[in-house]
Amino acid sequence: MAVEFLAVKTKSKSRIMNAGFLFMITMTGLATATDGVTRFHADGQSGLQAGDEIEIRLEFTSLDPSVDSASLFIAISRDGRVSAVRYQFRDRATNAAAYEGLLPEAEVQRLFARVRSAFRLPKHRRDYDPKLAYESDGFYLAIKSNQGKYREMSGGLETRPDDVRALVMEMTELWKRLNEVPPAYAYLTSRPVEQDRLRLLKSKYKIDLTPIESLSADLQSLLIPVVTQPLNFYPLTQEQYNQLKSGKLAVTFKNRGYELTMFLSAKERA
C-alpha cells in the first residue's frame, strides 16, 4: 500500500507527497531542501585526492508529475563508460529504461573536475533563506575514489549554488547521447532513514522495519551491499524481484534504517 509520510510546506500551503509501489516507501525525501551533505557513511567522505576518483554518480528526481520519465540515475566511470536508468512515478507503478555509452576523454576529465569543485562550494546559494521551506527537484551527487572512499551531497537542487545547479542539469541531459539497451527485469536502490524520520515511521505510521539480519542468506547477500554502499541502481532478476516484493521494503541493518525502492522495467510493465 502507499504510505504518506512527508509534508512539504510552501508558505501557508501544505503539500503531502504520496507515492507507493507495492510495499515501497518512496524516496521523496530527496525533494526537500532541508538536507545538506548527507550523513550516510559520513566517515567515508574524507581523504579523496584529485586524480584518485574513478566514478561519478548522480540521481535527479523531478517533482513535476506531468513530465514523463523525468527522474534519472547516471554513473560515469573515469574511462568514459556511462550507464543510466530513467524512471517515472505513476501512482503505484514505476517504469525504468536503461542506457549505455561512452563519453570523450576530455569531457570526462572536465566533468570530474567540475564535480570536485562542487564539493568545495558553499552549501547554499547566496540568497538562500533558512526560514523558508523550498519545494524543489531533488538530487544526489557522489564521487568515488579508487580506494573506495567517496564524497556525497543531496537535497533540494533549488537551494544550491548556481554552479552546482548548472552541473546537475547538464548531467541530466547526458542520457540523450547514449544508446538504449535492454534493461534488467527491475532495479533496486536504497536511501538511509534519519533517526527522527525513523521514529516517525514507527510511532505515527506504525511501520515495522525488517532487520536484514533476519532474512535468508540470499537476500542478505543482495541487500547488504545496497544499504552499505553509496547510492546505486542494482539490477534484479525476476526471481529476486518476486522475493523482495513479497516483503516490506523498509529495513534495518546494524540498527540503521533504510528505505528500499524497486523499479520495474518499462518492458515488464507493458
User: Mean pLDDT across the stretch 102-118?
Assistant: 96
User: Mean pLDDT across the stretch 160-179?
Assistant: 95
pLDDT of residue 153: 92
Which is more confidently placed, 65 or 194?
194
Domain spans, the chain: 3-27+183-269, 42-180
User: Mean pLDDT across the stretch 21-33?
Assistant: 32
Which is more confidently placed, 88 or 99?
99
pLDDT of residue 69: 52
pLDDT of residue 206: 77
pLDDT of residue 243: 87
Low-confidence winner among 38-52, 80-94, 113-127 (lowest mean pLDDT): 38-52
Which is more confidently placed, 65 or 186?
186
Per-residue confidence band for 53, with pLDDT thresholds at 50, 70 and 90:
confident
Low-confidence winner among 2-11, 32-41, 151-160, 230-239 (lowest mean pLDDT): 2-11
pLDDT of residue 33: 31
Per-residue confidence band for 203, with pLDDT thresholds at 50, 70 and 90:
confident
Give the per-residue SS3 of the chain: CCEEEEEEEECCEEEEEEECCCCCCCCHHHHECCCCCCCCCHHHCCCCCCCCEEEEEEEEECCCCCCCCCEEEEEEECCCEEEEEEEEEECCEEEEEEEEEECCHHHHHHHHHHHHHHCCCCCCCCCCCCCCCCECCEEEEEEEECCCCEEEEEEEHHHCCHHHHHHHHHHCCHHHHCEEECCCCEEEEEEEECHHHHHHHHHCCCCCCEEHHHCCHHHHHHHHHHHHCCCCCEEECHHHHHHHHCCCCEEEECCEEEEEEEEEEHHHHC
